[in-house]
Amino acid sequence: MAGDEVTVEREDTGSKGRYVYRADGQEAEMTFSKAGEHQIIINHTEVPDAFRGQGIGLRLVERAVADARAEGKTIIPLCPFAAAQFRRHPEWADVLKR
């Protein structure tokens, strides 16, 4: 399921938002808050047991990284899962807020 067909959507509600993956009546999400015009804070990632081990959480973070690059933003990963992914992916350093 976590192949190239994985579609992660971004829902933006002003000062907050989330990245969502939906399948089989379930959804995985990663929430974020905006910190000014050029930063987002990843607050929380939640992946249901049905999606565990499929790389869905990683796909959520990858989408946020891609969007941050495209929009010239940086990311503050307060969520422990997202922070761990940033440690595993040094190639994302360009969007990591230090």
Q: Is residue 98 part of a domain?
A: no
pTM to 2 decimals? 0.92
Residue 71, domain member (yes or no): yes
4 within domain boundaries: no
6/76 Cα distance (integer angstroms): 24
Handedness of CA 45, 21, 33, 17 (dihedral sign): negative
- Rounded Cα gap, residues 46 and 88, in angstroms: 19
Residue 36: inside a domain? yes
38: domain CATH number is 3.40.630.30
Q: What pLDDT tens digit does each residue of the chain (98 aa) get? A: 444 578 999 999 989 999 999 999 999 999 999 999 999 999 999 999 999 999 999 999 999 999 999 999 999 999 999 999 999 999 999 999 97
The total number of structural domains that make up the chain: 1
- Domain assignment present for 97: no
